[in-house]
Structure 1
Amino acid sequence: MIVEFSFDVSTLQSALTESPGMTVEMDHMTSTDTVALRKFFWARGGNFEAFESGLEDDPTVRDPKRITEAPDSRYYRVIYPDHLPGVDAYRAVVELDGMVLDARTDGDGWTGRIRYPDRDALNEWCERCEGAGITVDIEAIYDQERQPPEHSYGLTPGQREALVTAAESGYFSIPRETSLAGVGEELGVSSQSASERLRRGMITLIENTLDED
């Protein structure tokens, strides 16, 4: 089974406040009994210099390293201090035979997907997160053989939420019934973050529905 979740861990949130509009998407995480938890991720959409400066001062990570870069994105590795609640949450996933499939944040908490063998493992993970002081919100649960409707076009939960919210609030109406700031207020994010989610969501829809190449 696959679980879509959001939770309120503060990892990288400090660095992201230094670069509004930046989005972080996890590539993978790894840890052993002798190696601290390491996260590898792509960052895009904001000011990289401000973000990297923020990484150096972010208390939730240490030893940040830029590994590679592209014209519009950069790839990083950070190490998590052992005392972070997020480290306990990740170790619980591994111990319960789960697998983190993806995770992302734009500075407003984390969302992602985890594959679990059964509901008992999911329930125990939620209990262990609560014990570590982490509030977990389960957004959806579905069989791994079936993709939910919001993923049928490759949209992330955040992109789908932004597009639906914008449509329902009249952002696409003529004349417009709300602004980006209004959409952002509905989503609980800044207007810049709302704009980024809408832009990426529309690009994703076009690529997966209209672009035959």
Structure 2
Amino acid sequence: MSVIATFEVSADSFPLGKSIENQSTAEIEIERVVPMRQGQFPFIFVWNHTDFEEFERSVSGLPEIESVVLLESFDNGRLYKIMWSDGDCPVIAEIISNEGTLLSAIGDPTEWVFEIRFPEHTNVSDFFRDVTDADDVELSLKSLVKEIDFESVDGGILTDKQEQTLKTAFEMGYFCVPREAHLDDVADRLGISPSAASSLVRRGCAQLFEHKFA
């Protein structure tokens, strides 16, 4: 059975963390929409940055990043596509090499929290060893649990957090046309950040679609 590991990484140890180090309200969320072996986290959401042009200049100047392209703008954030330089980010490289699947990754100017699914406990150990052997990477394991999914009434497979978030969003009218609630409203109801609510809704929908149509 696969295991889900939650790691915390100092913002100074992760390239994207350096790009918002002077922005106390900013958050970056990595969006994984392709299999790990086919790409290295090409899409990121940046939330609540006071100067997005400054972020673009900052991230473009990082040696680990080859390019950054703005794809879409929102009221409180932007979606970018980034191209990583090969071999310059040990956290990303070791997730891939140890057969990890990124479930979520959200960072602020202080720390990043990665939730990663690994096939076996040994993959977790190898990942931790490989990353901490790299220079200047501060990594700590916060939780390690066997993955437990449950079958919902409509045949989809969701985690508890995904089920709760989708249920709340549905009850509040987030999926209505026109919408009766926004992600900020759902996040307030659940007591989580808008970026976390966005991630849970997208991941939950993706799990349902994959179970239904794969």
Could you state the TM-score of these two structures normalised by the residue count of structure 2? 0.62
Change (3 A) 1:95 1:59: closer
Q: Output the CA distance in 2 between the equivalents of 1:200 and 1:7.
A: 27
Quick check: 1:17 aligned with 2:21? Answer: yes
CA-to-aligned-CA distance 1:130-179 (integer Å, 9 cap, x gap): 2223332111111211699988866xxxxxxxxxxxxxxxxxxxxxxxxx
Correspondences of 1:167-206 after superposition (within 5 Å): 202-205=188-191
Q: For each residue in 1:189-209, what CA deviation from the matched residue of structure 2 results, as whole angstroms up to 9, or x when unmatched?
A: xxxxxxxxxx9964533899x
Give the superposition deviation at 1:38.
4.7
Q: Give 3-state SS (helix, strand or coil) of 2:20's partner.
A: helix
Identity %: 14
Please give the residue correspondences for 1:94-105 in structure 2 after superposition, counting only pairs within 5 Å: 94-105=96-107
Q: CA deviation at 1:29?
A: 7.0
Q: Give the structure 1 partner of residue 46 of structure 2.
A: 43
- Per-residue CA distance 1:60-83 (angstroms, 9 max, x = gap): 322111111122221011122224
Shift of residue 113 of structure 1? 0.4
Which residue is 1:143 aligned to?
A: 146
Shift of residue 27 of structure 1? 0.5
Give the secondary structure class of the aligned counterpart of 2:86.
coil
Contact 1:26 1:103 (C-alpha < 8 Å) held by counterparts = yes
Residue 103 of structure 1 deviates from its aligned partner by: 0.4
Asked whether the 8 Å contact 1:23–1:44 carries over to 2, the reply is: yes
**Separation in structure 1 between the aligned mates of residue 78 and residue 148 of structure 2, nearest angstrom:** 32
Q: 1:200 to 1:11 in 2, by over 3 A?
A: farther
Structure 1 vs Structure 2 CA RMSD: 3.5
Q: Using the alignment, how far apart are the partners of 1:51 and 1:200 within structure 2?
A: 27
Tell me by how many angstroms 1:115 deviates. Answer: 0.4
- What TM-score do the two structures reach when normalised by structure 1? 0.62
Out of 29, 32, 37, which is 1:28 matched to?
32
Deviations 1:70-111 (A, max 9, x none): 222210111222242x3x333332333221111011122311
1:24–1:41 CA contact under 8 A, matched in 2: yes
Contact 2:28 2:45 in 1 (8 A): yes
Paired residue type of 2:191? L
Please say if residues 36 and 96 of structure 2, whose CA atoms lie closer than 8 Å, have aligned partners that are also in contact.
no
CA contact (8 A) 2:44 2:80 kept: yes
Residue ranges of structure 1 left out of the alignment (5+ in a row): 155-198, 209-213
Gaps of 5+ in 2: 150-157, 166-184, 198-214
- Name the count of aligned residue pairs: 161
